[in-house]
Amino acid sequence: MSSIQCHFTSPRWQECEISGGRGFVRGAVWLNGHCLSPAGAIKQLDQIDGVTAWRKRMSDMSGFYAMVRQVGNHLVAAVDRVRSIPLFYGVDAGNVFLSDDADWVRQQVGEERIDADARADFELAGYVTGGDTLYRRVKQLRAGEALIVNDSDLGLTLSLERYFRFQYYGMSDRDDNRRLIRLEEVVEEACEQMVRMAAGRTIVVPLSGGYDSRLIATLLARCEYPKVLTYAYGHRDNREAKVSREVARSLGLPWTFVEYSQSAWSGVADSEEYWRYQQWASGWNGIANMQDWLAVKLLTEQDKVEPGSLFVPGHCCVTGFLLSSVFEAKRAGRLMEAGELSEAIRQRHFLLNASEEGKALFEERVRPRLAQDYTLDEALDPDEFIRQFILFGWQERQAKFIINSVRCFEFYGHDWWMPLYERDFMAFWQAVPRHWLERRSGYVTFVENLFAEVSGQKAPLGNAAQQSRQSMRARLSRLDAFRRGPGRHMKRLLKRMIPGLSQGNTLASTGRFPPETLERLRSEGYSHNGVAAQMFLERFG
């Protein structure tokens, strides 16, 4: 007989005794408006009434969690619908190893060499797609997935069950008034759940210049939650921080600013703490999203947030990344051509190296793997194109890069919650009509109206994040033209012409990288996150 070994490193896991075995729960599992006890949550993993009933029961649950149920030589392990708390597993010599620590699994299975295909994913996207990690025999559970292990006299079997996929099946009706009423109900329920999770603790909101965190701040102001802190960060006088401050002021919420600079980043970027976080948060699967890390570190060290506070970032399932051409194709009644989905995914998710070498690497290593799960070589109806494009974004970039950024809150001893990934909020967005997906128009209108109602601020503040991205794209285009033309001697002139360019970006986070390494990798076509991915591979690979 083989053995099934579980190893959990986080102190947040709760163990409970169950009939014939034991259960482990981390996070909060909600069902029918109630937060389940650990034993109640583990009971949901029991498949005694069949897989179909089990899938239905799992899909009915909400919250953010990972769960493991082990009875003898039978184990079921599951992550929530967004993989907010990752689980990793591997098999060696007939033994199964399961953990929240990918490196522990790597050590148990004796894997030393990074897989070439996984490395290509990592270099181009910043994460490894599917259920793989950088190491071939270290696997991960995908969003909305469970691992089932059985060890009997007939041998060891492992199977995966997907109980949830974020499938878009948009409705065709255009009754926006009724839809806005339902959205109001959904966000109100999400706010109530967030407040119950906070249980009187300080709720800390990373308040950007965009709509998602603005919605959270507005909901907290409307319900008059007594302990709220909002914050912004970046180089001094950046536009996002200015809008953030105005939002907080209009809502009557406390606000603080954490200044980033190249020297602040360079002062920590070679520390043991910095690289320990990078390795731990990566799960050998993706680069750590460092955007909030320095702010959370400084706010914690300066005692501006209480230990165990509840951080509530504006991470949201509502995507604004769909191509305008897909909506034009639908209106014109034509199909999206074969290959357009592949190119759209590459252009949105695999451009950490935008050079010809990066494109060739995508075609050679990445595209064949994607073709196993996505329809890349056939013409697609625009609705099917949208479904597959959104599915990729949800289970790859959102789960493995955006949502995984909550690791920085845990690293400094805090809790977190993501109301805009609550089950009913996600279900709402699975069914919105296409015109709501085009530039998120219905959602933007809803947030602006709610903010105006609560704050009394009638003039829309807009989306500073989007404006910053558009401005940055224009700057990079001009900068690239200069590099191809007059060359490096124009650098000082550019810094005077384009305010903020000397900071590198809004976060001033180019200070994380040694100047010579940054210059070398940028010249090879790597973006900011591409440089981060390469430095990670050079250090740990």
| Per-residue pLDDT, 472 | 44
Least confident of 39-48, 96-105, 295-304, 432-441: 432-441
| Domain carrying residue 33 | 4-162
- pTM of the prediction? 0.92
Least confident of 78-82, 398-402, 493-497: 493-497
What are the beta bridge partners of residue 15?
24
Residues 133 and 192 in one domain: no
Residue 499's alpha-carbon distances to 125, 293, 434, 488, 494, in angstroms, are 29, 25, 38, 18, 9
| Per-residue pLDDT, 506 | 84
Who contacts 414 (Cβ-Cβ below 8 Å, separation ≥6)?
Answer: 204, 296, 300, 305, 307, 308, 309, 310, 311
Residues 290 and 419 in one domain: yes
List pLDDT tens digits, range 450-469: 999 999 987 677 676 655 54
| Per-residue pLDDT, 279 | 98
For residues 99, 102, 104, 109, the Cα torsion angle rounded to the nearest 10 degrees is 100
CA 104, 108, 113 angle in degrees (round to 5)? 85
Residue 281 lies in a domain: yes
List pLDDT tens digits, range 168-184: 988 766 788 999 999 99
Return d(Cα 420, Cα 314) in angstroms, integer: 7
**Residue 332 CB: number of other CB atoms within 10 A?**
9
pLDDT of residue 508 exceeding 70: yes
Residue 189 lies in a domain: yes
Residues 138 and 96 in one domain: yes
Least confident of 159-168, 244-253, 402-411, 494-503: 494-503
Residues 197-227: b if buried by 16+ CB within 10 A, e if exposed:
bbeeebbbbbbbbbbbbbbbbbbbbbeebee
Helix (H, G, I), strand (E, B) or coil at 424: helix
Residues 119 and 244 in one domain: no
Residues 250 and 131 in one domain: no
Residue 232 burial class via C-beta count within 10 angstroms: exposed 0-12, middle 13-18, buried 19 and up? buried
Residue 272 lies in a domain: yes
Residue 269's alpha-carbon distances to 50, 211, 488, 516, in angstroms, are 51, 31, 26, 15
Residue 470 lies in a domain: no
Question: Region 504-511: what's the mean pLDDT?
Answer: 83
Residue 67 near residue 31, CB atoms below 8 Å: no
Residue 316's alpha-carbon distances to 33, 212, 214, 389, 426, in angstroms, are 21, 7, 12, 16, 9
Q: What is the DSSP string of 143-173?
A: TTEEEEEEEETTEEEEEEEE-----------
Residues 141 and 182 in one domain: no
Residues 191 and 152 in one domain: no
Confidence at 365, pLDDT banded by 50, 70, 90:
very high
Domain count, the chain: 2
Of 131, 162, 193, which residue constitutes the final position of a domain? 162
Residues 89 and 180 in one domain: no
Instruction: List alpha helices for 161-228, DSSP H.
Output: 176-198, 211-222
CATH code for position 11: 3.60.20.10
Return d(Cα 387, Cα 427) in angstroms, integer: 14
Residue 327 lies in a domain: no
Residue 320 near residue 138, CB atoms below 8 Å: no
Residue 317 near residue 421, CB atoms below 8 Å: yes
Least confident of 16-20, 320-324, 499-503: 499-503
Residues 44 and 70 in one domain: yes
pLDDT of residue 495 exceeding 70: no
Question: Region 134-152: what's the mean pLDDT?
Answer: 97
Q: Comparing C-alpha atoms, which of 349, 378, 380 is closest to residue 362?
A: 349
CA 218 centroid distance within chain = 22
Length of the chain: 541
List pLDDT tens digits, range 271-286: 999 999 999 999 999 9
| Per-residue pLDDT, 478 | 47
Question: Region 501-522: what's the mean pLDDT?
Answer: 85
Question: Region 344-366: what's the mean pLDDT?
Answer: 97
Question: Region 399-428: what's the mean pLDDT?
Answer: 97
Residue 209 near residue 240, CB atoms below 8 Å: yes
- Over pLDDT 70: what percentage of the chain? 91
| Per-residue pLDDT, 152 | 86
DSSP designation for 231: E
Of 116, 136, 162, which residue constitutes the final position of a domain? 162
Q: Comparing C-alpha atoms, which of 141, 6, 163 is closest to residue 73?
A: 6
> How do beta strands 21-31 and 74-79 pair?
unpaired
| Average pLDDT across the chain, whole number | 92
| Per-residue pLDDT, 280 | 98
Return d(Cα 207, Cα 51) in angstroms, integer: 42
Confidence at 484, pLDDT banded by 50, 70, 90:
very low
| Per-residue pLDDT, 2 | 64
Question: Region 70-77: what's the mean pLDDT?
Answer: 95
Question: Region 251-275: what's the mean pLDDT?
Answer: 97
Question: Region 61-85: what's the mean pLDDT?
Answer: 97
Confidence at 502, pLDDT banded by 50, 70, 90:
very low
Return d(Cα 4, Cα 105) in angstroms, integer: 12
Return d(Cα 424, Cα 420) in angstroms, integer: 9
Return d(Cα 287, Cα 209) in angstroms, integer: 24
Residues 195 and 299 in one domain: yes
CATH code for position 406: 3.40.50.620
Return d(Cα 80, Cα 71) in angstroms, integer: 21
| Per-residue pLDDT, 109 | 98
Residues 158 and 216 in one domain: no
Residue 236 lies in a domain: yes
Q: What is the DSSP string of 73-100?
A: TEEEEEE-TT-SS--EEEEETTEEEEES
Residue 506 lies in a domain: no
Of 462, 496, 514, which residue constitutes the final position of a domain? 462
Least confident of 60-64, 289-293, 463-467: 463-467
Contacts 24+ apart (CB under 8 A), 533-536: 533/122, 533/123, 533/126, 533/287, 533/352, 534/123, 536/122, 536/278, 536/282, 536/287
Question: Region 257-284: what's the mean pLDDT?
Answer: 97
Q: Which two tokens stand for residue 51?
A: 């897989």
Residues 182 and 152 in one domain: no
Q: What is the DSSP string of 315-339?
A: --S------HHHHHHHHHT-PBPTT
Return d(Cα 214, Cα 221) in angstroms, integer: 10
pLDDT of residue 514 exceeding 80: yes
- Over pLDDT 90: what percentage of the chain? 83
Q: Which two tokens stand for residue 404?
A: 């995984």
Residue 522 lies in a domain: no
